[in-house]
Chains A and B, each alone.
Chain A
Amino acid sequence: MKEILTALGRIFIRMPIGMLVVLKHLFKKPVTLDYPRKKKPMAPRFMGRQYLERYDDGSERCVSCGLCAAACPADCIYMEPAENEKGERYAKVFEINLLRCIFCGFCEEACPEEAIFMGHHYEFSADNRDSFIWTKEDMLVKHPRKDNPFKTLFRRVRKVYGVGEKKG
């Protein structure tokens, strides 16, 4: 007898209570977004496609030290260094294969010059494999640029070692 009563209670009381929960949601505002038209703002630390930052005076930050390539677990960074007329190193070729990249952000963490950063751009589908190889031209940010919109930069101006440095 007790079991029958419990079963009946479940069917006639518990189940309608559950249905009421679903019914309640009919009148709630949906939490989903109308995606391609509306976008969710990403968190400041979000890691999307990489970009290469510049100093305030417009010079490239990257010195082609290769630390980002060394830190990359997916081995997807390729670079060739060169020297400009002032004797400063820069990356002649800098390529990231986005098909291999796993967006772990190790390159950003490794870079000692604050050159490479993970941006907030996450929509980069294409219909051929070649366009996933991002070159330096694609990644280098435009100049002049007010500020890094996503991350804070610690150092703003290129530091020239040994020139105008205070002792002590």
Chain B
Amino acid sequence: MSAEKKTITLNMGPQHPSTHGVLRVKLELDGERVVTAEPIIGYLHTGIEKTMESMLYYKAIPATDRMDYLAPMSNNLGYCLAVEKLMDIEVPEKVKWARVCLVELTRVASHLVWLGTHSMDLGAMSMLIYAFRERELIIDLYEACGGQRMMTSYIRIGGLASDLPADFEKKVRNIIKTIREKMKDYDKLLTENPIFIMRTKGVAVISAEDAINYCLSGPMLRGCGVDYDVRKANPYSGYENFDFDVPLGKNGDAYDRYLIRMEEMRQSLKIAEQAIDGMPEGPYRAHVPGVVLPPKEDVLYKMESMIFHFKIITDGFKAPVGSVYQAIESPRGELGFYITGDGTNIPRRVRVRPPSFVNLGALPILTEGYLLADVVCAIGSIDIVLGEVDR
């Protein structure tokens, strides 16, 4: 045998069930060990940022849904908060609490999809069915609120699209109770399962230093014990009123990230419960004439509202010159919107800081030296949504 080492190049994807979308990973393999892994993206490019730059401010909201389609409410919230910051709009208390409740349930829904697909990648088939069963409850809540099951566009600039439905509280309480109950089942299935532990413990390890250098955020960063959560660091939408913990890992491996996401789901349910307990009464939209659409009932009967309605729908509103950056903690990490207004009714530049895209950049480190089968585990534990990676 010759002493020189031969490596082979292997393509994983773009059509591979475990890449969770159209992601291509170019692997350099030495036997079954990964030497380098290079993620190649762009297969799902939709030009959403550019589309948003050619639209009136309020019209871009449906476009944000389509980036991270597993957490539509988070994206709506990030964009709307950024525009509200640019326009200096203060939203009513009720809107803040309702938004927090919805966004936290979105986190649960997104983590459920992650849990189902990640464990299915590792061979636990029934988990997928159970996780999607519980997610269905949250999707039903979206449907009752905004009328759409996935692309909700429910959170709007200055408020919500419509008032919360009458049975909102009942539905949310039911969701919280059911998912808390079912999470015990997930624990029994996975947390102590020897196969699951063998596949995830000590796999796809990243050190805290590397994680910071690679700009990771969300569970990827907290998995290595770095305490950074936008909800705590820069509270937005009234998060300072809520009592919750930020779970931290120690080893930075896939198993720690699993534990963190499970704990985050529990904490999210806790926040949602607090939000529903303390939901104040009030209007569902801010009253800012000329910027925020007046409620539909007023439009039909009041001349002034009608005029503003026509004006906003056809012409939008003029944003001041300046730039804002607003970050929120999406289920995947720090989701930031950077918007530059130039005095006209369309933004000059919209830039999204997508957590999936940045987290995916650490894939080479996560997989180097591991087995080929661990690449699947690494991709799953980053929790990417390719719609957001490519935008």
A45 to B147 CA separation, bound complex (whole angstroms): 5
Total contacts A to B, CB within 8 angstroms? 93
Of the candidate stretches B10-18, B109-117, B307-315, the one touching chain A is B307-315
A71 to B57 CA separation, bound complex (whole angstroms): 11
CB-contacts of A1-37 with B (<8 A): 7, 10-11, 14-15, 17-18, 20-22, 25, 31
Min C-beta distance of B271 to chain A, whole Å: 24
Q: Which residue of B lies closest to A74 (CB)?
A: B62
Q: Is the CB of A70 within 8 A of B313?
A: yes
Q: Is the CB of A7 within 8 A of B194?
A: yes
- In the complex, A99 has a CB within 8 A of chain B: no
Given contacts A21-B188, A45-B146, A112-B299, is CB(A104)–CB(B309) below 8 Å? no
- In the complex, B389 has a CB within 8 A of chain A: no
Q: Is the CB of A47 within 8 A of B313?
A: no
- In the complex, B148 has a CB within 8 A of chain A: yes
Q: Which residue of A lies closest to B310 (CB)?
A: A67
Selected from A10, A73, A112, the residue in CB contact (under 8 A) with B194 is A10
Residues of B within 8 A of A17 (CB): 188
- In the complex, B153 has a CB within 8 A of chain A: yes
Selected from A15, A43, A105, A154, the residue in CB contact (under 8 A) with B140 is A43
A105 to B61 CA separation, bound complex (whole angstroms): 12
- In the complex, A114 has a CB within 8 A of chain B: yes
A44 to B192 CA separation, bound complex (whole angstroms): 43
CB-contacts of A34-91 with B (<8 A): 42-47, 67, 70-71, 73
Min C-beta distance of B388 to chain A, whole Å: 18
Q: Which residue of A lies closest to B143 (CB)?
A: A43
Residues of B within 8 A of A7 (CB): 194
Min C-beta distance of B3 to chain A, whole Å: 38
Q: Which residue of A lies closest to B305 (CB)?
A: A112
Q: Mostly helix, strand, loop or mixed at chain B's interface?
A: helix
- In the complex, B259 has a CB within 8 A of chain A: no
For chain A, the count of residues having a C-beta within 8 Å of the partner chain is 34
19 inter-chain pairs at a CB distance below 8 angstroms, sorted by A residue, are A14-B194, A18-B188, A18-B193, A21-B189, A22-B126, A22-B189, A25-B130, A43-B143, A43-B147, A43-B165, A44-B144, A45-B143, A73-B55, A73-B59, A102-B151, A103-B148, A104-B151, A105-B153, A109-B161
Selected from A10, A112, A154, the residue in CB contact (under 8 A) with B297 is A154
Residues of A within 8 A of B144 (CB): 43-45
- In the complex, A118 has a CB within 8 A of chain B: yes
- In the complex, B162 has a CB within 8 A of chain A: yes
Min C-beta distance of B123 to chain A, whole Å: 12
Min C-beta distance of B188 to chain A, whole Å: 5
A18 to B197 CA separation, bound complex (whole angstroms): 14
Given contacts A118-B147, A154-B297, is CB(A110)–CB(B194) below 8 Å? no
Residues of A within 8 A of B299 (CB): 112
Residues of B within 8 A of A71 (CB): 59, 313
- In the complex, B108 has a CB within 8 A of chain A: no
Q: Is the CB of A31 within 8 A of B133?
A: yes
Min C-beta distance of A30 to chain B, whole Å: 10
- In the complex, B63 has a CB within 8 A of chain A: yes
- In the complex, B89 has a CB within 8 A of chain A: no
A73 to B55 CA separation, bound complex (whole angstroms): 8
Q: Is the CB of B306 within 8 A of A112?
A: yes
Q: Which residue of B lies closest to A105 (CB)?
A: B147
- In the complex, A155 has a CB within 8 A of chain B: yes
Given contacts A45-B162, A70-B314, is CB(A112)–CB(B309) below 8 Å? yes
A124 to B133 CA separation, bound complex (whole angstroms): 26
Pairs of residues from A and B, 4 with the lowest C-beta to C-beta distance, nearest first: A45-B147, A14-B192, A47-B147, A10-B194
- In the complex, A134 has a CB within 8 A of chain B: no
- In the complex, B145 has a CB within 8 A of chain A: yes
- In the complex, B296 has a CB within 8 A of chain A: yes
Residues of A within 8 A of B162 (CB): 45
- In the complex, B210 has a CB within 8 A of chain A: no
Min C-beta distance of B59 to chain A, whole Å: 4
A11 to B55 CA separation, bound complex (whole angstroms): 57
Min C-beta distance of A123 to chain B, whole Å: 15
- In the complex, B233 has a CB within 8 A of chain A: no
Selected from A14, A20, A106, A114, the residue in CB contact (under 8 A) with B59 is A106
CB-contacts of B154-207 with A (<8 A): 161-162, 165, 185, 188-190, 192-195, 197
